[in-house]
Amino acid sequence: MTDDAPAPDLRASDADREQVAEVLREALAEGRLDMEEFQERLDAVYRARTYGELAPLTRDLPASGAAVAPAVSLTKDPVAGGGWAGRIVGGDDSGTSTWAVAVMSGFQRKGRWTAPRRFNAFAFWGGGEIDLREANFADREVVVNAVAIMGGIDVIVPPGVEVVVRGIGVMGGFDHREEGVPPEPGAPRVIVTGFAFWGGVGVQRKLPRAERQRLREERRREKQALKEERRREHLARAEEQRREHLDAAERHRRELEASRRPHDPLNLHDPLDLHGPRKQHERRAEDD
């Protein structure tokens, strides 16, 4: 921990917990953790409230195959999806990649990269994917110029981004389904333009991978909670049925004992009845 890092008792964010969960998932895939250890640590991740609670969970694990064992970062780095202001870099940043070509092949631009103000893509008898879900943006408005000749290009944007489609298709087409969706405040605008001949340019809106993983984990935890609740309900019903069975058995036993007693309306066979006819007869005999 550096001197200027926040104290371990500061509250951790959802993004911090997802960062630690991703390290655990990679450790599981690499065989560094077994499933039981992974489940225990993952449960601890989502229960954690502070940096101090998160740090021990990855202290003995490398991050993304690194040779050194990292602790959770106590500094606040910009995170994809954590606010649009941190993802629009502006200035003189021209982007980490400005073009892509696929001729009878394919290309991908995905992950953490900076989308330039204008990105040119060409696909001939091939296909390409331009994934902006985790990307930074060189400006508040970026242009994706896609040319697809007997091929296809997919543009993937995260929720909240405004999409404008201006391409021309000849025996092909551009996907306009994501147009008209209201943008989030401060979100960038992505303009998809170009030309499609016997091909197509698709536009899809998808959640970032970390968010999808978080939702899957939430659904998994909800299913586990539901299963646990159903198990408790089943045990409670079983216990109630057991008690009802015992009560019914006890009632049956008492009824059976009562049915085995001799019919004695005058209570002649009751040795404790001091006022019955038999006792009165015995007392008269003693008096004589």
* Per-residue pLDDT reduced to its tens digit, 184-237: 888 999 999 999 999 999 999 998 877 777 777 877 888 777 777 877 777 777
Q: Which residues contact 103 (CB under 8 A, 6 or more apart)?
A: 123, 124, 125, 126
- CA distances (Å), origin 153, targets 96, 104, 141, 159: 19, 13, 20, 19
Look at the alpha carbons of 95, 182, 19, 65 in this order and tell me if their dihedral is positive or negative: negative
Q: Quick check: is 283 in a domain?
A: no
Same domain for 167 and 91?
A: yes
Same domain for 103 and 68?
A: no
Given 140, 175, 206, the domain boundary residue is: 206
Same domain for 190 and 156?
A: yes
Q: How many domains does the chain have?
A: 3
Same domain for 146 and 177?
A: yes
Same domain for 234 and 177?
A: no
Same domain for 57 and 167?
A: no
Same domain for 181 and 233?
A: no
Same domain for 176 and 123?
A: yes
Same domain for 127 and 197?
A: yes
Same domain for 163 and 254?
A: no
Q: Quick check: is 284 in a domain?
A: no
Specify the pLDDT at position 94.
59
Given 25, 59, 77, the domain boundary residue is: 77
Specify the pLDDT at position 78.
42
Q: Quick check: is 272 in a domain?
A: no
Look up the domain containing 15 and give its range. 1-77
Q: Quick check: is 278 in a domain?
A: no
Same domain for 72 and 89?
A: no
Mark 138-176 as b/e (b = at least 16 C-beta within 10 Å): bbeebbbbbbbbebbbbbbbbebbbbbbebebeebebbe
Q: Quick check: is 195 in a domain?
A: yes
> Which residue stretches of the chain have pLDDT < 50?
1-6, 64-81, 272, 274
Measured CA to CA, the distance from residue 101 to residue 128 in angstroms comes to: 8
Beta bridge partners of 203: 155
151 with 129: CB under 8 angstroms?
no
Specify the pLDDT at position 73.
44
Beta bridge partners of 233: none
Same domain for 10 and 51?
A: yes
**DSSP per-residue codes, 26-89:** HHHHTTSS-HHHHHHHHHHHHH--BHHHHGGGSTTS-STT-SSPPPPP-S----TTS-GGGTB-
Q: Quick check: is 138 in a domain?
A: yes
Measured CA to CA, the distance from residue 205 to residue 156 in angstroms comes to: 6
- CA distances (Å), origin 206, targets 131, 210, 212, 242: 10, 11, 9, 52
pTM over 0.85? The answer is no
Q: Quick check: is 248 in a domain?
A: yes
Q: Which residues contact 194 (CB under 8 A, 6 or more apart)?
A: 121, 144, 145, 146, 147, 148, 167, 168, 174, 201
Given 206, 241, 272, the domain boundary residue is: 206
Q: Quick check: is 150 in a domain?
A: yes
Specify the pLDDT at position 217.
80
